[in-house]
Amino acid sequence: MKKTKIEQTIQLINNQISNKSLIAGSRLPSVRQLAKQLHCSVSTIVEAYARLIAEGVLESRVGSGYYVRGKSEPMPVIETDIHYQREIDPLWISRQSLEAKNEVLKPGCGWLPTSWMPEQTIRKALKTAAKSEAVMLIDYATPHGHIELRKLIARKKEQYQIKFQLNQILITDSATQSIDLIFRHLLVAGDVILIDDPCYFNFRALIKAHHLQAISIPFTENGPDLAKFEQALSLKPKIYLTNSGIHNPTGATISLQTVYQISKLVEQTDLMIIEDEIFADFEYIPAPRYASLAGFQHVIQIGSFTKTLSAAVRCGYIIADPKLIDDLIDLRIATNFSPSHLNAEIIYQALMDSSYPRHLDWLKKQLLKLSNETIQKLKTLGIKPWVIPTAGIFLWCTLPQGVQAAELSKLCLKHGLILAPGNSFSQAEQSEQFMRFNVAQCIDKKVFDILQTAIQQLQNSSIENS
């Protein structure tokens, strides 16, 4: 790509510094002199000098001109050591996946490959957002957040037959921030909260950060164990935190009967259900929702657009009772003041683009195909799915007899493979024989080669020890 005149000027000055034509303390020509020498505009030189000042290459002295700065010591880049003993820490998988180099394989992470994401749709949305009025680009958002995005969210909820007003939607920066806000407002340290077992490991991390007492409810193929759930209500829990639609990590879908039974139990209590819908756009057929049966007196819905659009443009939402939304707005203003209006506009434009439905359709077909292929490849290694998901990106699998997930994860990490061991998702730590696999990250044959070698090594070691 041809360089602009500004970039050419910057390169010229950097080259002169490199070959010692300009040394520390050297005075550069005035902007007018250099513009005349290079046959370009004064504004070009002004911008080039400004960028070099920002980079620490030049400095401006009032009334004197521009000078080459002395060479500064570069900041050392310190490689983070991998702590293998953290393989069960709920934050371990996310941190290792985020810090890992590009060549590291990540079947344990919770997102799609970059190449699967709608890059051109995001670029188009960025261009459209950049042409917005100044109020969109510069000012704070209104307390509830982007109104057109809230209207779009409300339309998307019509398929679940959930009725609510626009003032019941609060735009946030992410689903994680949404949970954090709700926890801050509704809970204090020591409060009892119910979670699925297994559940999304970041739920456990948030619970720990807020010093809450978590009670785990065994999660079955149809949803939470009803008897255990009813029994746990005697402990006066404040919140039940769960995934609706597609469950993480199991990929299971809750049954209508279970939703009905849980909703009836909750009606007699002060319990609030938080249903996280972050994987809703992967569904082929919408699963039952607690909000459809229990209403927003007992349900808070949260979600985001990270999984299908962009993890870089952070935007989420909360749907709840109007009074609770008002309280959450006050708390958000006190702690974060305002959501990102620009992020919300970019997400809105991307969702409204005609390419987005086609992108979703392609994603769902790819995931279904890869899910079937991954199941077959894992079966050859003695790894079997706990349930066959109807949609989504996850497989929750049992490992071969005698193979512990933590040990397998530790061994595979040394060979550049990040896995998601079962007990990272289990409050009761009863999932040492389970592993979560992201089918979209299992395309590379190396994933299965490394797994096979590691499993054989662990099984041989077990035989020798016995």
* pLDDT tens for each residue of 260-273: 999 999 998 999 99
With a cut of 50, say whether residue 373 has pLDDT above it.
yes
Instruction: Specify the CATH architecture of the domain 3-66.
Output: Orthogonal Bundle (1.10)
- Each domain of the chain, given as residue ranges in start order, spans 3-66, 88-109+356-462, 117-351
Would you state the pLDDT for residue 77?
46
Q: Give CATH superfamily name and number for 88-109+356-462.
A: Aspartate Aminotransferase, domain 1 (3.90.1150.10)
Please tell me whether the peptide bond between 249 and the residue prior to it is cis, using omega within 30 degrees of 0: yes
Confidence at 255, pLDDT banded by 50, 70, 90: very high
Can you read off the two tokens belonging to residue 255?
């049954």
Query: Could you tell me the end-to-end alpha-carbon distance of the chain, in angstroms, rounded to an integer?
Result: 64
> Of 263, 264, 274, 282, whose CA–CA distance to 360 is shortest?
282
> Of 56, 48, 58, whose CA–CA distance to 23 is shortest?
58
Q: What is the mean pLDDT of residues 315-333?
A: 97
Q: How far apart are CA 459 and CA 454, in angstroms?
A: 9
With a cut of 70, say whether residue 82 has pLDDT above it.
no
Q: What is the mean pLDDT of residues 289-295?
A: 94
Q: How far apart are CA 428 and CA 267, in angstroms?
A: 27
Q: At what angle do helices 5-18 and 31-38 cross, to 10 degrees?
A: 100
Alpha helices in 140-255 (DSSP H): 147-156, 175-186, 201-209, 226-232
With a cut of 70, say whether residue 97 has pLDDT above it.
yes
CATH 3.40.640.10: does it fit domain 117-351? yes
Would you state the pLDDT for residue 184?
97
